[in-house]
Amino acid sequence: MRQIAKQKRIATQARIRFKIPGIKVPKEKKAVTLLMLLLFLVMFLIPAIARGEEEWQTRPIPLDVEKGVVCVLDGCMMNLAVCETPAAEKLRGIIREKMFKDGLTQEQTYAYLAEVYGDKVLAAPPKRGFNWVAWLGPFVALMGGGALVYLRLEKWVSSSWQGDEPEEATSLNPEAAQRLDQELKKYL
């Protein structure tokens, strides 16, 4: 008997849960279900809204974008990809806002940062104006130094291989020649 009553109770609960047509759910159960749903919303959704974080604030910045920026806010001048200072986090927030909220591309974001903080915020100086010296200077200096070394070596080597006959020694006066011969005989 008890087993049959238990089976009927389980069957009734299953019909209430799955809303089988023809079965009426008491209003108290609907109220409890609605209250549970409201409690779920309060527990899980309200804290996320209360934090005030939007999706763009938590998205990771692409590594190539971070590598192209230098942390200049606090003067550490480290690459943003490796800098962990609070100023770097502020700069990352600015980049996130511009890229993910405002929809700027990588180049537009770099242009905005250069406009606000100057060209020093960019890891690679832009190729314009006096910055060409920074791009081309090392190559020109290396090629000029190499040419100078080549020309000096060529002159040095060519002067030693020209086969110039050495000048004949000036003849010694007879007294000096006799003294030299005597000295050589002593030691040889």
pLDDT tens by residue, 21-44: 555 656 667 777 777 877 777 777
Q: Is 110 exposed, middle or buried (0-12, 13-18, 19+ CB in 10 A)?
A: buried
CB 78 within 8 A of CB 70: yes
Mean pLDDT calculated for residue range 144-156: 92
- Tell me which architecture the domain covering 63-151 has in CATH: Orthogonal Bundle (1.10)
Per-residue pLDDT tens digits for 3-25: 666 666 665 655 555 555 555 65
Alpha helices, DSSP H, located in 97-130: 106-117
pLDDT of 51 strictly over 90: no
What is the reported pTM? 0.48
pLDDT of 159 strictly over 80: no
In the DSSP assignment, the letter for residue 162 is S
**Looking at the chain, which residues constitute the CATH 1.10.8 domain(s)?**
63-151
Mean pLDDT calculated for residue range 114-129: 86
Among left, alpha and beta (phi > 0; psi -120 to 50; other), residue 62 is beta
Least confident of 1-15, 27-41, 107-121, 168-182: 1-15
pLDDT of 89 strictly over 80: yes
Least confident of 51-60, 108-117, 124-133, 168-177: 51-60
At 46, which helix (H) or strand (E)? helix 27-51
